[in-house]
Amino acid sequence: MISLHNIRLVLGTLVLLGMGSNEVSAAVPGNGVLDFAIVRNGKEIGSQVYRFREAQNAVEVNVSTRIKFKLGFFTVHRLKHDSLEIWKGDRLISFSSWTSEKNIFKGRMKYEVAVEEDGDNLSVDAARDGWRAPITAVPASFWNSELVRANTLIDTIDGAKLAVTVEPLGEDIISVNGGQLGVSHYRISGDMERELWYDQDNILVQVKFTAQDGSEIQFIPR
């Protein structure tokens, strides 16, 4: 998920939320919103929207994901996901998420994840298992460019530990809302496979990966 209608204007007026020692180290958009269409093989099937706000000397990041994939008259997959990240500087203070998923083949599933700062670590409480993550671990929500320097990610849906390697693929130029934008391109491999593109201000502008069924999924800014 960049600006709803004026991406180039917003990208030119980016600011960092927060002040002083509580300033979040990762860049966020000046209008406080990243809005992406989720596209499967060229057809939109959902959305992922990030909303940023300063609150009590921290930065809150709300992520809302909605997916509805249909084949003909049948809904094959439906997902509703909401999460909240709280950051102070470059430290994740807490993360929580709630996900409801319904798949025609797998049935209905629900997940809750809670992450809290615990000394020099992060305590991860999830239905699958509880574990302690290094303080440098980052939720796999992609907006935060600190992710490209991490080797441990936290799955935002089920809280699983994701061991990853991030490979920089160099500078590139991509088409965004009818314009050309210079970006940095990265590939994540390991327990999660993704390609990510960030602009010169480290704002997320595109995500791409191959789903389990072989389809191509993209997050494209609106």
In a domain, 94, yes or no: yes
In a domain, 174, yes or no: yes
pLDDT for 25 equals 55
pLDDT for 10 equals 32
pLDDT for 11 equals 32
SS3 content of the chain, % helix, strand, coil (to 5): 5, 65, 30
Place of tokens 């020692």: 21
Least confident of 22-31, 86-95, 120-129, 160-169: 22-31
pLDDT for 175 equals 87
Least confident of 10-14, 76-80, 84-88, 168-172: 10-14
Strands 107-118 and 161-176, bridge-based pairing: unpaired
Under 8 Å between Cβ of 89 and 22: yes
Q: State how many domains the chain has.
A: 1
Which is more confidently placed, 3 or 186? 186
The pair phi, psi for residue 4, each rounded to 5°, is -65, -45
C-alpha 162/C-alpha 132 separation (Å) is 12
In a domain, 1, yes or no: no
In a domain, 92, yes or no: yes
Which is more confidently placed, 51 or 103? 51
pLDDT for 79 equals 96
C-alpha 55/C-alpha 17 separation (Å) is 10
First to last CA, the chain: 7
Range of the domain at 92: 7-221
Strands 43-55 and 33-40, bridge-based pairing: antiparallel
> Mean pLDDT across the stretch 119-127?
93
In a domain, 2, yes or no: no
Least confident of 22-26, 85-89, 180-184, 204-208: 22-26
Which pLDDT band holds residue 4 (cuts at 50, 70, 90)?
Answer: very low
Cross-strand partners of 23: none
Q: Which H helix or E strand runs over 7? A: helix 7-11
* Conformational region of residue 104, where left means phi above 0, alpha means psi within -120 to 50, and beta covers everything else: alpha
pTM of the entire predicted model: 0.86
> Mean pLDDT across the stretch 77-95?
95
**In this predicted model, what pLDDT tens digit does every residue of 171-201 receive, in sequence order?**
999 988 888 999 999 999 999 999 999 999 9
CB atoms within 10 A of CB 204: 27
pLDDT for 21 equals 39
- Of all residues in the chain, the percent with pLDDT exceeding 90 is 73
> Mean pLDDT across the stretch 36-49?
97
> Mean pLDDT across the stretch 157-170?
96
In a domain, 198, yes or no: yes
CATH number of the domain residue 92 falls in: 2.50.20
Spatial neighbors of 46 by CB under 8 A, at least 6 apart, are 37, 38, 65, 66, 67, 68, 69, 79
Retrieve residue 37's tokens.
């269409």
